Amino acid sequence: MTNKSTFEEGQEYAIRMDLVDPLSAFKDRFHCPKHVDGKDIIYFCGNSLGLQPAHVMEPIMEVMESWKTRAVEGHFTGQRPWMHYCDQINPVMARLVGAKTAEVHVMNTLTVNLHLMMVSFYRPSKKRFKILIDYSPFPSDRYAVVSQIQFHGFDPKEALIELQPNDDTSIIRLEQIQNILEKEGDEIALVMIGGVNYYSGQLYPLGEITRIAHDKGCLVGFDLAHAAGNVTLSLHEDGPDFAIWCTYKYLNAGPGNLSGCFVHERHHQDVSIPRFAGWWGYEKKTRFLMKDDFVPEQNTEGWTLSNPPIVSLAGILASMEIFDDAGMNRLRQKSVALTGYLEFLIRKIDHPSISIITPSYPEQRGCQLSLRIAQGGKELFQKIRHQGVIGDWREPDVIRATPVPLYNSFQEVYHFSEILKNCLD
Ligand SMILES: *Cc1c(COP(=O)(O)O)cnc(C)c1O
C-alpha cells in the first residue's frame, strides 16, 4: 500500500489515506466505546481484547431461540444445527492461519490447548527433555511449560531454556535460535515460542524456525495468540507440529472465548501419539455407538474433549464472517501502512523519553508498537487515557499501541500521535 518513505506529516495525509482505504467501511461493523465527548475512543488495544462485532447478537440470539423452541433437537435441526456448527467456522479459521481445514479446530481455551498439545508433543526422554521458549513469554505459557516439565519429573532449571536478546534491544535474531539449536538441539524436545511476542511485538520467521528445529529432531509448537488475525500465516507450509491461539484478541470473538488449535496433518493418522481423550474427539461416524475403546477422529478434532459451547461459537462465527469479507491479505497490507505511519509520527515527535522496542521492519512485526517510556510512563499512559485513547500498559515501562486494520483509521493514528505529543510536553 505504501512504504516508509512516502508517509507525510500533517492531518491532510491521514484524511487522504482514509479516503482511499478499501477497508474503511469495516469500522462500522464494530461497536466502539465512547469518550466523554461522545466521540469514539481511539481504541488501540485490539491486541488485548478486540471490539464487539456489531451483528454479534444475531447468531447468539439464533442459538438462544433454537434452544428455547427446539431444546435438544437444536443439535440436529434449525438453520445451523449445533452438531455441525464448527463446520462453518473451521474453514475460515483455517484460511486465516494458512492451514488445511482438517488441521484446525476450535476448542477449549488457549492455555488448556497448550497443555493438551504438550501431552502429545512434549514427550521427554532422559537425553532429550528440554523446552526452548520465547524471550519474556506470556506468563501463562511459562507456567504451563514449567508445570509440564515438572510433571514429567524434570527440573525446570535444567530443562527450560529461554531466549535472550544479546544486546540492549528486546529483539531476538534468528542466529541466536540457530546457535542454541546447534549447541543443545540434541537435548531439546520441544521448541515452543510465540508467533508474535506479546511484549515486544516481534514477529518470528516461523517457517525457518520450524525447519532448523526439525533438522535437529525437535518438535515445534507456536503460540499464535498475538499472530492470528494480525499477520498472514502459512501454518501448513511452515510445518510446525502444533499451534494454538485465542479468539478474543485480534479475532474479536468476545472476552475469554475459545481457542483455535492446529495439528499438522502428518500427525493425524498416528494413533500412537499419546493424548488426553474425551468423547468429542471420538471418530465422528461411530461416536454415538458409545463404545469403550477410544478411537480418535483422524484430524485435529481428534484432540477435542467436550461438546462445544455453541453460544461461544456464535461469537466466533460473527467474527469469522467479517474476516472472510475483509481477507487477511488486504488486512495485512493496510496494517503494514497503518503501523508504519504510527512509527513515522512517533519518530517525528522525537522525544528523549520514548523509544520503540518493536522491530522496525514490517516483516518482523504485526500491528503493535511497544513504546518504552524512560520516565513517567504510567502517568503518561493515564494522561492519554483521559484524552480518549485506550492502549495498554505493561510493567515496568511499556505502552503498547496497536492500530488494528479492521477498525482503526489513519486519522486515529494521526490524533493518537498528537495526543501523545501534547501529553509529553
Ligand atoms: C492472551 C494470551 C494468553 C491467554 O491465555 P488464556 O488461556 O486464553 O487465558 C496466553 N498466552 C499468550 C501468548 C497470550 O497472548
Q: Kindly list the protein residues whose Cβ atom lies closer than 6 A to any atom of ligand 1.
A: 109-111, 138, 140-141, 194, 198, 223, 225-226, 246
The CA 229 to ligand 1 mean position distance, Å, reads 15
pLDDT of residue 178: 96
First to last CA, the chain: 33
pLDDT tens-place string over residues 247-295: 999 999 999 999 999 999 999 999 899 999 999 999 989 888 888 899 9
pLDDT of residue 349: 95
C-alpha cell at 392: 495498554
Mean pLDDT of the chain: 96
In the structure, what pLDDT confidence band is assigned to residue 1 with cuts at 50, 70 and 90? Answer: very low
Ligand 1 atom closest to residue 246's alpha carbon, by position in its atom list? 8
CA–CA distance from 156 to each of 8, 159, 214 (Å)?
50, 5, 22
pLDDT tens-place string over residues 95-125: 999 999 999 999 999 999 999 999 999 999 9
H-assigned helices in 27-109: 57-70, 86-97
Residue with CA at minimum distance from ligand 1 atom 1 = 225
The CA 116 to ligand 1 mean position distance, Å, reads 15
Is the confidence at residue 315, as pLDDT, over 70?
yes
Whole-number Å distance between alpha carbons of 92 and 323: 8
Grid cell 467436550 — which residue?
Answer: 306
In three-state secondary structure terms, 2 is coil
Residue with CA at minimum distance from ligand 1 atom 14 = 225
Q: Which one of 117, 135, 140, 258 would you pick to mutate in the ligand 1 pocket, going by the greatest count of ligand atoms within 8 A of its CB? A: 140
Within 61-120, strands assigned E span 104-107
Is the confidence at residue 2, as pLDDT, over 60?
no
pLDDT tens-place string over residues 77-94: 999 999 999 999 999 999
The CA 237 to ligand 1 mean position distance, Å, reads 24
Residue type, 200: S
DSSP-assigned beta bridge partners for residue 242 = 221, 263
Report the pLDDT averaged over residues 308-326: 97
Residue with CA at minimum distance from ligand 1 atom 6 = 110
